[in-house]
Chain A
């Protein structure tokens, strides 16, 4: 990523933050058009999901997460396809680091689920390493069942909670 595009991205993020603050503290400010410049160039907005080099693109277009069967940590063909694309992105955007967060659904005891989430995150990390991502750009952590994204008590929710999420961050050296 060039210095210029990074700078643009940071500006866009700051713009959005300003907009959020404006909304929070004063409706009049928001109405006054905070952040109006962000989408002005009509095409690819640096830092937005339409910019293939952006974390937003990684999260939304490639997909930042893979899902697992009950009490399992093996990667399905669909999960592997997502991780292939994640690996490709990480190869291209080599300034970024990633933390892989492993999670479990609530149908398990707390300690076991921490260990199970670690298995899932580690399986994900090892797959990315096998696709050529340097292991020193990756690390993992497990949240067990502490951070569900869906809260219903049905398989439709549980299946979304049994996940490993690749969280992108800017490297310290960049």
Chain B
């Protein structure tokens, strides 16, 4: 992708000023695992434009940062028309009393400069009531067309300082862009920023394409295409936008691919006769081994982040249920025991949970459970929710929601693991099958 190369992020991480005195009685911190929380109030005035060319970015960057933070459901922005102080210089002392008066716990200040097509943004995060800076001021730079990434990087820093966890805003999602009527739906692979901006198409819509999956470092995408007639697994080089068939076996259906955590292997399903089993392929050598061997449908495999185990779905018990087996194959343990059918399991990048699609009494749910199947929690409900993918920090899921009937369309949504905040991701057309890439 030319965009990425041009961006050539200069992650300066430069100290803007010596660190201010830090509050010693525990930093301002929001605990994101709690069930119900009061969102933390923050204020983000427009960033200061330090050069004439930075004017157009100063406000836009502050808005994207605010959208990122508010979109988590953990933070609540104090509207700008309630602000008392105006920030006109990045170096001027902050009038904490003015921000206390509007009950802002956190204040984010920033400044943008532009020179020769490159923009630079610096920011500081303030604990308003302690009157201190949270962490050090930082600076990021990029070419002008990368201004949204700069904003996401700032937001990731703020999120990280306030939650103690890694952010997820400077990340991309590969998905299937959908158009046309339901019975003749045209599908093509597309890639976008996590918030739906900067959509780029990776394939045309001549063949049905399904379920793209990012490699762990985001350089490749596995997907299933009907290009040769039957569904087969392809691998696409994201930078070159070139794809090839991963596994060429004429007349044999293969689908549901996913990379191992180190990107060297792929697990996937192969159908022979009425039977669908799970296989693993070494990408470099092309050598494959069979991991399951029952007459049942076994599909949707997903590695644990340490690479030692694989969670998958099987209807060997009579209905779709979730199972965990060693990564080399062998005895599988059933982990789903609730009512209904369970499919599309995905292991959290944190290793602690498995997300899934559940069907029960005509409704679809996105849910999470611990890796032994305990503590099942349903996060969504609709006539057709499907196919969760984890944000790189394992705190948010994105999935497809399809509305039913002749005019039905598919859209992408995000939901946090506590099920507090459901947000629709704005895409130009219909969208399905998201796969969330790594933090860039």
Name B405's contact: one of A73, A109, A123, A152 (CB within 8 Å).
Answer: A152
Interface string of B266-286 (1 = CB under 8 A from A): 000101011010000000000
Q: Please tell me if the beta carbons of A111 and B300 are within 8 angstroms of each other in the complex.
A: yes
Q: Please tell me if the beta carbons of A151 and B208 are within 8 angstroms of each other in the complex.
A: no
Interface residues on B, range: 35 or more
In the docked arrangement, what's the CA distance between A2 and B384, Å? Answer: 51
What is the CB-to-nearest-CB distance from A105 to chain B, in angstroms, rounded to a whole number? 11
Q: Please tell me if the beta carbons of B402 and A118 are within 8 angstroms of each other in the complex.
A: no
A142 / chain B contacts, CB cutoff of 8 Å:
231, 253, 271
Q: Is B386 an interface residue (CB 8 A)?
A: yes
Interface string of B323-355 (1 = CB under 8 A from A): 000000000000000000001100000000000
A106 / chain B contacts, CB cutoff of 8 Å:
384, 402, 404
A123 / chain B contacts, CB cutoff of 8 Å:
274
What is the CB-to-nearest-CB distance from B76 to chain A, in angstroms, rounded to a whole number? 35
B319 / chain A contacts, CB cutoff of 8 Å:
71
What is the CB-to-nearest-CB distance from A164 to chain B, in angstroms, rounded to a whole number? 12
Q: Is A29 an interface residue (CB 8 A)?
A: no
Q: Please tell me if the beta carbons of B408 and A151 are within 8 angstroms of each other in the complex.
A: yes
B386 / chain A contacts, CB cutoff of 8 Å:
109-110
Interface string of B206-232 (1 = CB under 8 A from A): 001011000000000000001001110
B251 / chain A contacts, CB cutoff of 8 Å:
139
Chain A 5-62 residues near chain B, CB threshold 8 A = none
Q: Please tell me if the beta carbons of A118 and B343 are within 8 angstroms of each other in the complex.
A: no
Known contacts A109-B344, A112-B297, A116-B297: A149-B253 contact under CB 8 Å: no
Q: Please tell me if the beta carbons of B274 and A112 are within 8 angstroms of each other in the complex.
A: no
Name A151's contact: one of B181, B226, B269 (CB within 8 Å).
Answer: B181
B383 / chain A contacts, CB cutoff of 8 Å:
153
Q: Please tell me if the beta carbons of A153 and B256 are within 8 angstroms of each other in the complex.
A: no
Name A153's contact: one of B211, B231, B297, B405 (CB within 8 Å).
Answer: B405
Chain B 129-181 residues near chain A, CB threshold 8 A = 181
In the docked arrangement, what's the CA distance between A105 and B70, Å? Answer: 38
Closest to B433 in A: A110
In the docked arrangement, what's the CA distance between A107 and B344, Å? Answer: 14
Q: Please tell me if the beta carbons of A110 and B183 are within 8 angstroms of each other in the complex.
A: no
Q: Please tell me if the beta carbons of B182 and A148 are within 8 angstroms of each other in the complex.
A: yes
Known contacts A142-B231, A146-B208: A151-B183 contact under CB 8 Å: yes
Q: Is A141 an interface residue (CB 8 A)?
A: yes
Q: Please tell me if the beta carbons of A109 and B357 are within 8 angstroms of each other in the complex.
A: yes
Q: Is B320 an interface residue (CB 8 A)?
A: yes
Name B387's contact: one of A109, A119, A150 (CB within 8 Å).
Answer: A109
Interface string of B296-313 (1 = CB under 8 A from A): 010110000000000001
Interface string of B181-195 (1 = CB under 8 A from A): 111110000000000
Known contacts A109-B343, A111-B256: A148-B387 contact under CB 8 Å: no
B343 / chain A contacts, CB cutoff of 8 Å:
108-109, 111-112
Chain A 126-174 residues near chain B, CB threshold 8 A = 126, 139, 141-143, 146-153
Seen from chain B, the residues whose Cβ lies within 8 Å of a Cβ on chain A are: 181-185, 208, 210-211, 226, 229-231, 251, 253, 255-256, 269, 271, 273-274, 276, 297, 299-300, 313, 315, 319-320, 343-344, 357, 359, 362, 383-384, 386-387, 402, 404-406, 408, 433
